[in-house]
Amino acid sequence: MAVTDTNSWTGIREELLRRIHDRVWEPGAQIPHEADLAEEFGCARTTVNRALRDLAESGLVIRKRRAGTRVALNPPQRATLTIPIIREEVEALGKTYRHSLLERAYQPVPPMLHGVFHASLGEDVLYLKTLHFADERPYAFEERHINLDTVPQARERKFEVSSANEWLVHNAPYSRGDLSFSALNADEDTARILDCTPGTALFTMERITWTGDAPITHVKLIFAAGYRMRSTI
């Protein structure tokens, strides 16, 4: 019994998954060795290994070298969420993308960012206000600060043709970033810009990216009403 349809590693993964799900192997319990499973399924150990590795990557089982493989007690719920470039996101919806630069200024570091941009307190940052459109309807409103200490080449960029986001992605690769998501009631200005009524709940994403210890940029994106961010586990 327990013969999988195919001997593909995905087939074996499904069968292992079934056993975990059906509590043939309870949470915390040790599961048979790769070699035993390989024999049972009539396949090579490599194939079982691939299936188990995949389950381990998704956090369902814990593997240790000599200790064997056991079913995770608290399978972590991790989701990888892809933050697309807005232009691509819009174009993926089959709509036409356009953006418009509302404001471009050199400013001292705003108080809100003193904590993170402290490295360049004396220096000005490049401040950009951009509105992204999908089929000529407002899609997202972007406020951005660029650290000119870290990315001095940005000082000369107009950011009228290609958006700051795309330029930075290609020219200032970051090593890490902090993200936060929240809901926001539209104030008068935002409502006007995003073409909604004041008070509308808007999905907001804030992001600060760094290269090493140096902050590159801070972005606040306020999406038009009805936006949903999607992801899969």
Partner DNA sequence: AAAGATAATATGCATGCACATATTAACGTG
Partner DNA sequence: CACGTTAATATGTGCATGCATATTATCTTT
Tokens standing for residue 221: 């994106």
43 binds, among DNA, its own copies, none (CB under 5 to 8 A by kind): DNA
Q: Smallest distance from the beta carbon of 233 to its own copies, in angstroms?
A: 4
Tell me whether residue 76 or residue 122 sits nearer to its own copies (CB atom).
Answer: 76
**65, 158, 228, 230: residue in contact with DNA (rule CB under 7 A):** 65
**33, 100, 179, 192: residue in contact with its own copies (rule CB under 8 A):** 179
Contact status: 192 vs DNA (CB under 7 A): no
Name the phi and psi angles at 196, rounded to 5.
Answer: -140, 180
CA distance 59 to 173: 29
Contact status: 180 vs its own copies (CB under 8 A): yes
Q: Smallest distance from the beta carbon of 7 to its own copies, in angstroms?
A: 18
CA distance 37 to 228: 42
196, 177 Cβ separation under 8 angstroms: no
**22, 66, 111, 115: residue in contact with DNA (rule CB under 7 A):** 66
Element (H, E) at 221: strand 214-223
Amino acid at 83: I
Element (H, E) at 176: strand 176-185
Contact status: 42 vs its own copies (CB under 8 A): no
